[in-house]
Amino acid sequence: MLSRESKFPAAEAPPAGAAAGPCAMGPTKGEELLSMHVWVFQNLDGGLALASGDKREQPQFTEIPEPRWKVRTVLDPESEPFEVGKPAVGVAIALVRRDGTTDVHQWSQAVEIVVESPFREPH
């Protein structure tokens, strides 16, 4: 589940004129994340909702029972707003390190857009 709108700290606010997109999160599966890049798409009756974002420094935070990653996104200029309760697709690419080896992982999966994520926000 992705919260409908990312909440940016003042120091990381989206560029002027850009609206916040979904906040993407997921488990790290024991790997050290070096950077994370995310795209979220949602087909709507009136068009397409599209957002993207990346986190190149400290993309992960601690959450019980396992560490998680988090990337705030912004809507693309011509994007429709994301609709709560409708399915979407999340696509991600991560640069990871495990046991001294650096690798790239990519995946896509169906996600649901919700008002707020059930996961704790990092401090």
Of 105, 83, 121, the closest CA to residue 37 belongs to 105
- What one-character DSSP code corresponds to residue 10? G
**CATH numbers and ranges of domains, the chain:** 2-7+19-114 (2.60.40)
pLDDT, greater one: 102 or 116: 102
Would the pLDDT of 78 be above 80? yes
* CA separation for the pair 63, 40 (Å, rounded): 23
Cα 63 off chain centre by: 16
* CA separation for the pair 87, 91 (Å, rounded): 13
Is residue 70 a contact partner of residue 122, using CB atoms and an 8 Å limit? Answer: yes
With H, G, I as helix, E, B as strand and everything else as coil, classify residue 72: strand
Residue range 21-73, pLDDT digits in tens:
998 888 887 788 899 999 999 999 989 999 999 998 887 777 667 778 889 89
> Over the chain, what is the mean pLDDT?
84
